């Protein structure tokens, strides 16, 4: 799987990262840079929403830390890592170039990949937005509204964690907490996972690896292995395959130093919670 290289054997056979949202103020770029510095893989899958085109279209935001993430990825590619970039909904602008088979340096760009595990099982690797009913053309405005609500939650989260740091308390995710407590959000997550598994079952895949919903997970659904690598906005998680075929979700402590996220006062927490499922 990995390219022949003069560099040391990578730490993992494969690594999956998604929903980084470079170009947004909620991106945990510094935490990701630190993670990539100490974790290497034979194949690195960037499973969509690495660049947040939606945010950049509204307002340009690109600090040095975001450039450093790109540099880390390109450096990994030069050192023998097979890097594969799968387009998501926030970086859907890349999908317009797929028919031209355009690559970014050594980085291959596609709409989906098939990962063959150490045990020979076939895993479909997609961002996952195609399984989200809110991504239909006639309902996409709801997704954009939810994106604004989610950014408002991050703004609130910034203020809460500023106080928590002053009190010596660890980082706490407001969005994640609301998801766990909101029946509508949980129903959406379970429905999404089941749709992904059902599709893989019909198409003859042994499992699926995706992102999109910002909820890291590994579980069996009707004989299909469903795995989600989470996100790098709040959870800071990555999915890895060890050289012996074991799968694991790695957690990195967020820095908790979000910049102020654009949001208007008329957005309230009740609306944000109701739209969490549309992030």
Task: Give the residue carrying structure tokens 């609130």.
Answer: 156
**pLDDT tens string 86-102:** 999 999 999 988 888 77
The token duo for 274 is 């109701």
Helix (H) or strand (E) holding 217: strand 217-221
pTM over 0.95: no
**pLDDT tens string 120-172:** 999 999 999 999 865 444 455 445 445 555 665 665 666 666 676 777 777 66
Neighbours of 8 (CB within 10 A): 9
The token duo for 217 is 């997970």
Of 89, 17, 94, residue with least CA distance to 54: 89
Tens-binned pLDDT, residue by residue, of the chain (279 aa): 545 557 789 999 999 999 999 999 889 999 999 999 999 999 999 999 999 998 899 899 999 999 999 999 999 999 999 999 999 999 999 998 888 877 778 899 999 999 999 999 999 999 999 998 654 444 554 454 455 556 656 656 666 666 767 777 776 665 665 555 554 566 778 889 999 999 999 999 999 999 999 999 999 999 999 999 999 998 899 999 999 999 999 999 876 543 333 333 233 333 333 333 333
Contact residues for 103 (Cβ-Cβ < 8 A; gap 6+): 109
65-96: burial string, b at 16+ Cβ within 10 Å, e else: bbebbbebbbebbeebbbbbbbbbbbbbebee
Helix (H) or strand (E) holding 41: strand 41-47
Alpha helices in the chain (DSSP H): 29-38, 53-58, 64-78, 140-166, 174-181, 183-203, 269-274
How far apart CA 148 and CA 144 sit, in angstroms, is 6
How far apart CA 16 and CA 41 sit, in angstroms, is 9
CATH code for the part of the protein at 12-278: 3.60.21.10
231-248: burial string, b at 16+ Cβ within 10 Å, e else: bbbbbbbbbbbeeeeebe
State whether the Cα torsion 215-216-221-224 is positive or negative: positive
Residues forming a β-bridge with 12:
41
Task: Give the residue carrying structure tokens 């950014």.
Answer: 151
How far apart CA 245 and CA 13 sit, in angstroms, is 8
């Amino acid at each position: 799987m990995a390219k022949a290289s003069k560099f040391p054997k990578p730490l993992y056979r494969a690594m999956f990262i998604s929903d980084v949202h470079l170009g947004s103020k909620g991106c945990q770029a510094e935490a990701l840079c630190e993670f990539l510095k100490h974790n290497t893989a034979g194949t690195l899958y960037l499973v969509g929403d690495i660049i947040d085109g939606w945010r950049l279209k509204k307002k340009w935001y690109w600090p040095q830390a975001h450039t450093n993430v790109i540099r880390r990825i390109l450096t990994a590619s030069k050192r023998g890592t097979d890097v594969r970039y799968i387009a998501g909904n926030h970086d859907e602008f890349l999908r317009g170039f797929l028919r031209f088979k355009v690559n970014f340096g050594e980085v291959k760009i596609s709409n989906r990949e098939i990962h063959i595990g150490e045990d020979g099982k076939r895993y479909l690797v997609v961002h996952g937005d195609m399984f989200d009913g809110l991504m239909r053309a006639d309902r996409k405005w709801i997704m954009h509204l939810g994106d604004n609500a989610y950014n408002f939650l991050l703004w609130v989260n910034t203020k809460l964690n500023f106080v928590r740091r002053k009190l010596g308390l660890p980082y706490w995710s407001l969005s994640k907490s609301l998801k766990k407590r909101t029946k509508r959000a949980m129903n959406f997550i379970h429905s999404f996972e089941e749709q992904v598994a059902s599709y893989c079952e019909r198409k003859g895949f042994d499992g699926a690896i995706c992102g999109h919903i910002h909820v890291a997970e590994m579980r069996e659904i009707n004989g299909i292995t469903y795995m989600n690598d989470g996100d790098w906005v709040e959870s800071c998680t990555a999915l890895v395959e060890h050289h012996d075929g074991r799968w694991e979700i790695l957690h990195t402590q967020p820095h908790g130093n979000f910049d102020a996220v654009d949001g208007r006062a008329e957005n309230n927490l009740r609306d944000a919670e109701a739209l969490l499922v549309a992030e």
